[in-house]
Amino acid sequence: MDIHINNILNDLKKDNIQAYLLTKFTNVEYISNYKPTSFAFCIIKENPIIYVSSMDMEIAKNNSSIEIKEYESFEVMIGELKAEGIKSLAIEPTLPFSTYEKFRNDFSIESKNYVDKQRMIKTPSEIEKITKATEIAQKSFLDLDILNNANMENEVAFDLVRLMIENGAEKESFDTIVTSGANSSLPHAIPQAKKLDQPILIDWGAIYEGYCSDNTRTMVYTEKQQEIWDIVAEAHDKAIKAIRPGLKCCEIDKVARDIIIDYGYGDRFIHSTGHSLGLDIHETPGFSLRDETVVEKGMVITVEPGIYIEGEFGVRLEDTVSISKRGNVIGDLPLDIV
């Protein structure tokens, strides 16, 4: 049986739980190679099964490595589980409350992150896909003649996505951010139908064979912008250099944060230093203030410090780091791209 499923069965045994219910699309995909498009109830037990929406039966039949069955109703599904003698169920932390409510009368329920835990450590094949996604995204960025086009923000975003698809991406890995001028102080700015102003901040990524990439570059023009850029670049570089297995995630966050604090901008670094990525653009663990997870070989985590000065501008610089004995930046796009 598949190693991922075996790991879950071992976790279940250890915790004395009989089955694990998965409904999150990327978790079902991770375990079965079938990514739901509507809904699915994947039950990992000695004989794993996925209850599949009628809409998805054809795609599930063609892709799932696990036995599938057409979903009829909650009653039927719960009846079948009970008939097998299942009384205890582990669920994902993200399970919607209303779904939990439908199970809680018939099963003892505990929330477990068995799959998230496995997904933290990427296999070489997963790292290859993230690398390929990054290469596509970075090549597309270079293909994009941003500065010679006096374009609208949303057109630049659009052109970048088109280039990524032409270069082999399935799609963008999140809503592409192209923001400029004062709006760049919003970490999750939405590209506007307005001409590019200064500075220009672009946060973008591709999906390749299901796996995400994530980068940010900021092009600065004034002395003040350059001064902030230099601080962010120092935080970016030193955090990456500090990464090694055995440290806690929060210690890497602290390296970046302390540099920005020292320069007096601590209160303008308004998010975490980074997040894991893979099948999802945001996975755990993250380089954040409170994340005590120990860094391990095989993790892939972004490093993306930023400084945001409300009403003026923002600067963020982001690379994705694959961790072996140290942190290796994926891709080779220079930080100072202009």
Total residues at the site for a copy of itself (CB under 8 A)?
Answer: 37
Only segment of 4-12, 80-88, 120-128, 150-158 that touches a copy of itself (CB under 8 A)? 150-158
**Interaction between residue 100 and a copy of itself (CB under 8 A):** yes
Q: Of the two residues 33 and 154, which places its CB atom closer to a copy of itself in the complex?
A: 154
Rounded CA-CA distance 9/30 in Å is: 15
Q: Residues 201-240: x/- map of binding to a copy of itself (CB under 8 A)?
A: ----------------------------------------
**Interaction between residue 308 and a copy of itself (CB under 8 A):** yes
- 136 and 209 in contact (C-beta within 8 Å)? no
Count Cβ atoms within 10 A of the Cβ of residue 34 and give its class: 0-12 exposed, 13-18 middle, 19 or more buried.
Answer: buried
Count Cβ atoms within 10 A of the Cβ of residue 25 and give its class: 0-12 exposed, 13-18 middle, 19 or more buried.
Answer: middle
Q: Of the two residues 103 and 229, which places its CB atom closer to a copy of itself in the complex?
A: 103
* Interacting residues with a copy of itself between 237 and 276 (CB under 8 A): 270-271
- 269 and 284 in contact (C-beta within 8 Å)? no
Structure-block tokens of residue 56: 């998805």
Q: Of the two residues 244 and 268, which places its CB atom closer to a copy of itself in the complex?
A: 268
Distances 67 to 149, 272, 333 between C-alpha atoms, Å: 52, 40, 43
Rounded CA-CA distance 243/239 in Å is: 7
Which residues are within 8 A (CB) of 58 and not within 5 positions of it... i.e. 6 or more apart?
none
- In the list 143, 175, 296, 336, the residue contacting a copy of itself (rule: CB under 8 A) is 175
Q: What element of type H or E holds 79?
A: helix 74-83
- In the list 3, 85, 101, 105, the residue contacting a copy of itself (rule: CB under 8 A) is 101
- In the list 17, 20, 22, 92, the residue contacting a copy of itself (rule: CB under 8 A) is 92
Q: Of the two residues 245 and 266, which places its CB atom closer to a copy of itself in the complex?
A: 266
Least Cβ distance, residue 310 to a copy of itself (angstroms): 5
Q: Which residues bind a copy of itself (CB under 8 A)?
A: 37-38, 54-59, 91-98, 100-101, 111, 154-155, 158, 161-162, 165, 170-171, 175, 185-188, 190, 270-271, 308, 310
